[in-house]
Amino acid sequence: MVTTTTADNVLKSYYLSAVSDQLNKSSPLLARIAQTTSDVWGRDVRKVVRYGVNGGVGAGTETGDLPKASGNRYAQFVSTLKNLYGTIEISDKAIRASASDEGAFVDILNDEMDGLVKSSAYNFGRMLFGDGTGKLATISAVDGSNTKLYTVDTVKNLAEGMIVDIYNGASAEKTGAVVEEIDRAGKKITLDVAIETPTGYTVCVQGSKGQELTGLGAIFGNSETLYGVKRADWMKPYTKTVVDLTENEVQTAIDEVEEKSGSKIDFIVCSSGVRRALFDVLSKYRQTESVELDGGFKAISFNGIPVVADRFCPEGTMYLLDTKDFALHQLCDWQWLAGEDGTILKQIAGKPVYTATLVKYAELMCYRPCGQAMISGITEK
């Protein structure tokens, strides 16, 4: 017989490991990044990184002075662990209706877990390219005849059903708004609420403003500091604006980064339009090769380096990365949020609904920002 207790046991014993594996390899980039519990101290990630070279080397005569000692140079990167959540809901009616039919209950759980995985993977993958602010888009105009229809600068990070907060600077104008419709060609969204004079307002995931992973948007950003350290030259990644992509431009970025930092570019991620532009360039001179990556992903190859397209990569942008310089530091892997009695299915106060929440406390960190490159402004195909 199906009860909340048996449902609890199924969620713990059967679904957790499968869901964790799917979420941890939900995108080609995430599958390449190591996940570790090292360097986690309380609520923070504290990673000591070495930069430059040891100065205590040199050449000399048989009887001359030995080189002056000079140790390695170090900096400490510090960043707060981010709280990542995913929630499912099951009504009491659904549990009672399937009490004598375990197969029907499994179908209900499968459907809920499938939705949770897709939603969590969507947001997790989006965060990898974000700047940690939780910003999804900026409102540029409101339709005069429909005060719930808004023009935004991009719809790449938005999906129907998302619950969002609308901010005017640091002030929340509306919280818990639902994205009801998206006009992707016109870059317009319909919310379930009306907002007066919203031009310039930002759209963020509910409750997530300033709380998301430190993604590529922050690593390649223009903030004065990164991980609590002032951006000196050794921390600045290679960036260049290119209109027409060429094989030489890509190779130049790789060469300059590797010569400056000693890194080894092993992964290229870009938007779909940029991948098509690169494919067009490569196919003019030779047959393009394809490679298979961990997680079953496939990619084209640029001089042996896999090139993948990601739906969340900004338009006209290509990132060239040494993925060995990245790690997702975590307090633990995905776990169910449990009460004091150990149960994970809890009734929502005043409602005939049970909820369960997956949680992960983690932060993305790049140990060698100067070992990464970004080409932007590329004309897409």
In tens, the pLDDT along 45-80 reads 999 988 766 555 667 667 776 666 656 678 899 999
pLDDT of residue 109: 76
What whole-number distance in Å separates Cα of residue 370 and Cα of residue 198? 38
What whole-number distance in Å separates Cα of residue 66 and Cα of residue 61? 9
Amino acid identity, residue 55?
Answer: G
Of residues 4 and 176, the one with the higher pLDDT is 176
Mean pLDDT (the chain, rounded)? 87
* CATH architecture of residue range(s) 4-48+75-130+329-364: 2-Layer Sandwich (3.30)
* CATH architecture of residue range(s) 216-326+367-376: 2-Layer Sandwich (3.30)
Distance of CA 117 to the CA centre of its chain: 15
What whole-number distance in Å separates Cα of residue 250 and Cα of residue 373? 10
pLDDT of residue 1: 62
Residue limits of CATH 2.40.30 in the chain:
135-205
In tens, the pLDDT along 286-333 reads 667 777 777 677 788 898 899 999 999 999 999 999 999 999 999 989
pLDDT of residue 375: 97
Determine the average pLDDT of the residues in 13-38.
Answer: 86
**Residue 223 CB contacts under 8 Å (≥ 6 apart), including other chains:** 231
What whole-number distance in Å separates Cα of residue 261 and Cα of residue 370? 6
Amino acid identity, residue 335?
Answer: Q
Residue limits of CATH 3.30.2320.10 in the chain:
216-326+367-376
Determine the average pLDDT of the residues in 131-149.
Answer: 88
Residue 128 in contact with residue 29, Cβ under 8 Å? yes
In tens, the pLDDT along 183-235 reads 999 999 999 988 888 889 999 998 899 999 999 999 999 899 999 999 988 88
Determine the average pLDDT of the residues in 269-286.
Answer: 89
Residue limits of CATH 3.30.2400 in the chain:
4-48+75-130+329-364
Alpha helices in the chain (DSSP H): 4-10, 16-24, 28-32, 92-97, 102-127, 216-219, 247-261, 272-283
Count of H-run helices and E-run strands, the chain: 8, 24
State which CATH number among 3.30.450, 3.40.210, 2.40.30, 3.30.1540 fits the domain covering 135-205. Answer: 2.40.30
pLDDT of residue 54: 55
